[in-house]
Amino acid sequence: MSTKIWLSSPHMGGNEIKYVNEAFETNWIAPLGPNVDNFENDLCSYTGMKYAAALVSGTSAIHLALIQLGVQAGDEVICSSFTFSASANPILYQGAVPVFVDSEELTWNMSPQLLEKAIKDRISKGGNLKAIILVHLYGMPAQMDELMAIANHYNIPVIEDAAEGLGSTYKGKALGTLGTVGVLSFNGNKIITTSGGGALLSDDESFIKHTRFLATQARDNAPHYQHSHVGYNYRMSNISAGIGRGQMEVIQERVEQRRKNYNFYYENLSDVSKVSFLTEAEGYYSNRWLSCIVLENYEQREILRLALEKENIESRPLWKPLHLQPIFDKYPSYLNEVSEKLFNCGLCLPSGSNLTIKDLQRVLKVIKHVLS
Ligand SMILES: *Cc1c(COP(=O)(O)O)cnc(C)c1O
C-alpha cells in the first residue's frame, strides 16, 4: 500500500524545538512565560491587531468572546450555518440560542441578505440579539463590508471566526482584524499549529487584559485566592507557545504552499467540466487552507471520495451545515439551500503545505480517472 496522503497535517519549520527547549532550560513549564508573550507579539505584528491573548483553543477564544460581550442564558447569537461545530458550541455553553444564517455563492460564507432578514425577524419576535459569529470558511474571506455595515446598522458586535483564515486578507487587511473581536485557531490541522491552541484578537487593551484575567481563573488582586468572577483555565502553555513562535517564522511560506496546491488542482482540472472551484473575487485573498471542489451531484462526490480512500488518500465532504446537525437542528435558521448543496456535492482535497508534487499527482490521477 502506498503511503497515506492526509487532508492537512502539521508542518514544522524547524525552530519550534529551539523555543520549546528554551522553555525547558528556563523552567517556564506553565500556562504563562516568555514564549506566550512573544507569540502574542508575533500574532499582533503579523495581523496588524494591537492586542492578542493566546489561549488553549479557538473554541475557548469564542467562549471568552461571548462571555465578554455579555451573552447570557436565553440571549440569541447569530452564527454562520456553513461552519465547523466549534463556531457555535460556545453559544450553548452560555445557555444562549444559536440562530443560523446560510451562505452566499461568491465566498460560501454568510449571506448579507439573509443576515439582515434574520436580524429583522428576530427583533420582530422579541429576540435579544447579542452577537454575530461570522466565519471565513476554508480561509476564504466573507463579504465583510456588506456584513459589517448590517451589523453596525443594528449595533450588534461581531466575533470574527478566522480559525481557518490566518494568512488570508480582505482588501489588504488580515482576517480576524475586521470584526469587533477576532478568533484564531492553532489546532493540529490548521495552517499553523501549536499542537492545540487559539487566540483572541482585539484593538481594545482592556478587553484583552480581561480575557487573560478570565482565562487564568479570574483571580482578584489579593495575597490569598480571592474571586469575584467565574474563572476559566484557558491560557496557552509556554510549551505550546514555543511551537507557535517557530510556526510564525514560516507562516508566509505556508500560505504560499497551500495556494500552490489550490493552483495545481485548479490548473490541472480546468478541462474537467464536472469540477468547479471557489475562486477569489477582487479584494479577496485566501490562504487556501483547504482546496475544495464541487461536483455535479452527491453520487459523483461519493464515488470520488471512495476512490481516493481506496488509494489511501484522505478527503472530506465539505462541512455539514449546522442547521442540519442533530445537536443544532431545533434552533432558528434562515436558509437558501446554498450550504446544503455545497455539503452534498463538495469535497475537500489533500491540502497540507508539506505535500510533494508526487503526492499531488497521485491525487490528480485518481480524480482524472474517476471523472473522465
Ligand atoms: C478549528 C475551528 C474552530 C475551533 O478551533 P479549535 O482550536 O479547534 O478549538 C472554530 N471555528 C472554525 C471555523 C474552525 O475551523
Q: Give the distance (Å) from ligand 1 centre to CA of residue 163.
A: 5
For residue 274, indicate whether it is catalytic: no
Q: Give the strand order in the sheet containing 346-349.
A: 276-277, 291-294, 346-349, 316-317
Q: Is 187 in the pocket of ligand 1 (CB under 6 A)?
A: yes
Give the pLDDT of residue 358. 97
| Spatial separation of the C-alpha atoms in residues 136 and 138, rounded to whole Å | 7
Q: Is 185 in the pocket of ligand 1 (CB under 6 A)?
A: yes
Question: What are the cell numbers at 24?
Answer: 525547558
Give the pLDDT of residue 50. 98
Cα angle 76, 81, 84; round to 5: 105
Number of residues that make up the chain: 372
Q: Is 159 in the pocket of ligand 1 (CB under 6 A)?
A: no
Architecture of the domain spanning 16-248:
3-Layer(aba) Sandwich (3.40)
| Spatial separation of the C-alpha atoms in residues 281 and 271, rounded to whole Å | 21
Distance (Å) of CA 136 to CA 34, 163, 285, 289: 31, 8, 11, 11
Non-local CB neighbours of 170 within 8 Å, separated by 6+ positions = 141, 142, 144, 178, 283, 284, 285
Q: Give the distance (Å) from ligand 1 centre to CA of residue 2.
A: 31
Q: Is 135 in the pocket of ligand 1 (CB under 6 A)?
A: yes
Which residue, among 130, 125, 137, 151, has the nearest Cα to 87 in the 3D structure?
137
Q: Is 163 in the pocket of ligand 1 (CB under 6 A)?
A: yes
Q: Is 168 in the pocket of ligand 1 (CB under 6 A)?
A: no
Judge contact between 93 and 124, C-beta under 8 A: no
Domain ranges of the chain: 16-248, 251-371
Element (DSSP H or E) covering residue 58:
helix 58-68
Residue with cell 469535497: 347
Question: Ligand 1, closest atom to CA 83?
Answer: 13
| Spatial separation of the C-alpha atoms in residues 247 and 280, rounded to whole Å | 26
Point out the catalytic residue in the list 171, 190, 320, 358: 190
Q: Is 58 in the pocket of ligand 1 (CB under 6 A)?
A: yes
Pocket perturbation via mutation, ligand 1, pick of 83, 84, 316 by most ligand atoms within 8 A of CB: 84
Give the pLDDT of residue 2. 87
Question: Ligand 1, closest atom to CA 57?
Answer: 7
Question: What are the cell numbers at 222?
Answer: 489579593
Question: Ligand 1, closest atom to CA 164?
Answer: 15
Q: Is 240 in the pocket of ligand 1 (CB under 6 A)?
A: no
Nearest residue by C-alpha to atom 5 in ligand 1: 58
Give the pLDDT of residue 372. 83
| Spatial separation of the C-alpha atoms in residues 84 and 183, rounded to whole Å | 14
Spacing of C-alpha 94 from chain mean position:
20
Judge contact between 154 and 160, C-beta under 8 A: no
Nearest residue by C-alpha to atom 11 in ligand 1: 87
Judge contact between 311 and 2, C-beta under 8 A: yes
Q: Which residues pair with 216 in a beta bridge?
A: 233
Pocket perturbation via mutation, ligand 1, pick of 161, 194, 234 by most ligand atoms within 8 A of CB: 161
Q: Give the distance (Å) from ligand 1 centre to CA of residue 197.
A: 9
The CA dihedral of 365, 367, 368, 369, to the nearest 10 degrees, is 80
pLDDT tens track of the chain, all 372 residues?
789 999 999 999 999 999 999 999 999 999 999 999 999 999 999 999 999 999 999 999 999 999 999 999 999 999 999 999 999 999 999 999 999 999 999 999 999 999 999 999 999 999 999 999 999 999 999 999 999 999 999 999 999 999 999 999 999 999 999 999 999 999 999 999 999 999 999 999 999 999 999 999 999 999 999 999 999 999 999 999 999 999 999 999 999 999 999 999 999 999 999 999 999 999 999 999 999 999 999 999 999 999 999 999 999 999 999 999 999 999 999 999 999 999 999 999 999 999 999 999 999 999 999 998
Q: Give the distance (Å) from ligand 1 centre to CA of residue 68.
A: 19
CATH class of 251-371: alpha beta
Which residue, among 172, 114, 201, 162, has the nearest Cα to 289 in the 3D structure?
162
Nearest residue by C-alpha to atom 14 in ligand 1: 163
Q: Is 334 in the pocket of ligand 1 (CB under 6 A)?
A: no
